[in-house]
Amino acid sequence: MGRTTTTVPGAGAAHDRPVGWRRFVYATNHKDIGTLYLLFALCASLVGTALSIFIRLELHEPGLQFFTNPQYYNVVVTAHGLVMIFFVLMPALIGGFGNWMVPLMIGAPDMAFPRLNNLSFWLLVASFTMFISSAFFGGAPGTTGAGTGWTLYPLLSTKGHPGPSVDFVILALHLAGASSILGAINFITTILNMRAPGMTMHKMPLYVWSILITATMLVLALPVLAGAVTMLLVDRNFGATFFDPQGGGDPLLFQHLFWFFGHPEVYIMILPAFGIISTVIATFSRKPIFGYLGMVYAMVSIGLIGFVVWAHHMYTVGLAADVQAYFVAASLVIAVPTGIKIFSWIATMWGGSIEFRTPMLWAIGFIFLFTVGGVTGVMLANAGVDRVLQDTYFVVAHFHYVLSLGAVFGIFAGWYYWFPKMTGYMLSETIGHVHFWVTFIGVNILFFPQHFLGLAGMPRRVADYPDAFEGWNYVSSIGAYVAVLGALIFFFGLAEAFYRKRHAPDNPWGEGATTLEWTLSSPPPFHQFEVLPRIK
């Protein structure tokens, strides 16, 4: 058997560093596990992006070009959503950056449960395997794959898909859910129990707060999804009738349960990005964040209120008017703490010494574009408006602005900010700037026209459309190809950094970078903070 560890001569057991494949497969080091998650998210992003290109290629012109059976278009749309949410955004923001940076930022040597951390990662790999498998099994009669939308509503997902495909998706969600719940337990325990001496909760970096709130939401929301998809499983295979009216069931029950999870889920995706943006804006304004407590409690409010607004995804199902009125009010309320954050980021930059390094471009882009997505969200929160816009491209434009132009910009901001710390190499500023601008232009050309399509009445999840929608669809598809060019530039930049090997100092960003990871070497030692830092 090969060696598992190598010992630094003269050092104690704590300096043993694992070598070989066991270092990563049996990993118990939060930095290695974070790397695994980031590489996983990178690979999954290739799949998710390819799926989105298939969509835009089909919608480039009216008529059915590639998907002669439109059910396969539905399968691609479903896969695009599930892959991006569960295998790209969450692994990158929470599993990747969370694992890497939370222990460093609180001055801890690792996570509270290092082995459980690794289990979370391998469960995600198992989940992705189940999900990919779903494409190869029967779905709707005569086709393969699950073409239900990522929301899996019955009865399309029960009676409408008699083959095993949807069952593979259900079990993939179980595994991903378990992965995230265990990871969330790990993060909450680590953050509550392992902060360095002197680091009170109100001295924690905002990114750590964002992960704490996100993890709490995961623990509370994901089990409800598990229950909902288990009901789907037994309806499909064991004769239960949770959602079948013929047996006394209620299809709306699934929608309630799904969105009780689903709405917190979208805040789960954006809150870590908020944390990254706060970190980057403060660093490159050389000023502490404006209104730290306001930022903290804005995130707490978003997390709490996020649990009581779910039915704004269900305005067209026939809920009572009073019920809809409540959800309108509650959904509008969430705009307030979110607005506090936007204004606080701007106030942070005001009077600061701004340096437009690549991470800062992504962060400023985020503030502008997330705000656009946020205001269309406020529009959709109104049930009367949503009566017309539900299931149109206006909704698609809204959530892609907050996700593709919000969460994804947050990921790139974090990537460019922390890459030197994680790898020890500097990325090229020039390539980074080109990547940003090409992507910025591309995704705006891609998604902005979709507002017009939605207002004009183009439905979502359709493989073909009336000729009247041709113009903006053509423009939108061009934007997609430009965005892909941006992605290629990104990968080129990665390769260039590893080729050039420009060594990164402990802190490449200057006095604005005040969190603890910048006190360590780039990359950090295998075990850090064996002596705990004291925080004043």
Nearest CA to 528 out of 421, 417, 420 is that of 421
Which of 79, 88, 231, 402 binds another protein (CB under 8 A)? It is: 231
Q: How far is the CB of 179 from another protein (least distance, A)?
A: 9
507-to-69, 277, 430, 516 alpha-carbon distances in Å: 54, 18, 20, 10
- Nearest-angstrom CA–CA distance, 134 and 269: 24
2 forms part of the interface with another protein (CB under 8 A): no
Among 38, 199, 222, 299, binds another protein (CB under 8 A): 222
Q: Does 64 bind another protein (CB under 8 A)?
A: no
For helices 321-349 and 251-285, angle between their N-to-C axes, nearest 10 degrees: 10
Residues 402-431 within binding reach of another protein (CB under 8 A):
none
Active site residue 451: no
Active site residue 418: no
185 binding another protein? (CB under 8 A): yes
Q: Which of 7, 168, 191 is nearest to 75 (CA)?
A: 168
Dihedral of alpha carbons 357, 360, 365, 368, sign: negative
Question: Is 174 among the catalytic positions?
Answer: no
- Asked, as a colleague might, if the bond just before 164 is cis with ω within 30 of 0, I would say no
| Token pair belonging to 213 | 């709130």
- Distance in angstroms (rounded) separating the CA atoms of residues 482 and 462: 23
Minimum CB distance to another protein, residue 251 (Å) = 9
Task: Give the C-alpha separation, 406 to 373, whole Å.
Answer: 8
Q: Is 481 a catalytic site residue?
A: no
Q: Identify whether the C-beta of residue 536 lies closer than 8 Å to the C-beta of residue 198.
A: yes
Q: Which of 56, 161, 263, 287 is catalytic?
A: 263
Q: Which is nearer to another protein, 10 or 248 (CB)?
A: 248
* Binding residue for another protein, selected from 192, 323, 329, 388, defined by CB under 8 A: 192
Q: Which of residues 139-168 bind another protein (CB under 8 A)?
A: 164, 167-168
Enclosing H/E stretch for 53: helix 30-59
Q: Among the options 35, 52, 180, 404, which is catalytic?
A: 180
288 part of the interface to another protein, by CB under 8 A: no
Q: Is 9 in the site for another protein (CB under 8 A)?
A: no
- Regarding 217 and contact with another protein (CB under 8 A), the answer is no
Q: Is 301 a catalytic residue?
A: no
State how far Cα 454 lies from the chain centre.
24
Is there binding between residue 6 and another protein (CB under 8 A)? no
* 22 a catalytic residue: no
Query: Which residue from 88, 102, 188, 405 is in contact with another protein, where contact means CB under 8 A?
Result: 188
- Annotated catalytic residue, options 286, 460, 461, 527: 460
Please report whether residue 223 would count as binding another protein according to CB under 8 A: yes
Extract the tokens encoding 173: 């969600």
The answer to whether 212 contacts another protein (rule: CB under 8 A) is: no
28 part of the interface to another protein, by CB under 8 A = yes
Give the contact letters, 496-515, x = binds to another protein (CB under 8 A), - = no.
Answer: --------------------
Q: Which of 389, 369, 370 is nearest to 379 (CA)?
A: 389
- Quick note: the x/- pattern for another protein over 67-106, rule CB under 8 A, is ----------------------------------------
- Say whether residue 259 binds another protein (CB under 8 A): no
List 94, 181, 422, 427, residue binding another protein (CB under 8 A): 181
Catalytic site includes residue 52 = no
- Of 265, 425, 435, 472, which one is the catalytic site residue? 265
Which residues have a Cβ under 8 Å from the Cβ of 265 and sit 6 or more positions away?
85, 221, 225
Task: Select 179 or 477, whichever has its Cβ closest to another protein.
Answer: 179
| Rounded-to-integer distance, Cα 300 and Cα 378, Å | 20
Helix/strand/coil for 433 = helix
Instruction: Tell me the C-alpha distance between 209 and 302, whole Å.
Output: 12
Cβ–Cβ under 8 Å, residues 290 and 344: yes
* Residues identified as active-site: 80, 110, 150, 179-180, 263, 265, 267, 278, 312-313, 338, 341, 460
